[in-house]
Amino acid sequence: MKDRVRYFLVPPGEISYIDCIVHAYDGLAVVRTLDGRVGLIEMLIAPDMEEELSALIEDLAREVRIRELSPDDVALMGDHLDLSPL
């Protein structure tokens, strides 16, 4: 099975916090910042971990603004994203 990818918009200042929380769940997902200016992140979800990640996102949404985007939404943003390395 392949990893599944999901995209989220979060407050830019919360990216590190979200990364640390997800990382604490060993083997759940990898968080990558696509554009730190706007808070666009992607999560590469391990096979069979979709439900666990969804539950974690629900919990995180109680304390951090987090909005899921579709791949089409991200593609539409494409020309406006800063994908240069930090």
What single-letter amino acid sits at 73?
D
**Residue ranges per structural domain of the chain:** 4-80
CB atoms within 10 A of CB 8: 23
**pLDDT tens-place string over residues 2-11:** 779 999 999 9
Entry field: residues in the chain: 86
* CATH class in words for 4-80: alpha beta
**pLDDT tens-place string over residues 50-64:** 999 999 999 999 999
At 71, the pLDDT band (50, 70, 90 cuts) reads confident
The whole-model pTM stands at 0.86
Burial code of 44-73, b = ≥16 C-beta within 10 A, e = fewer? ebbeebeeebeebbeebeeebebeebeeee
46, HSE (Cβ side, Cα atoms, 13 Å): 11
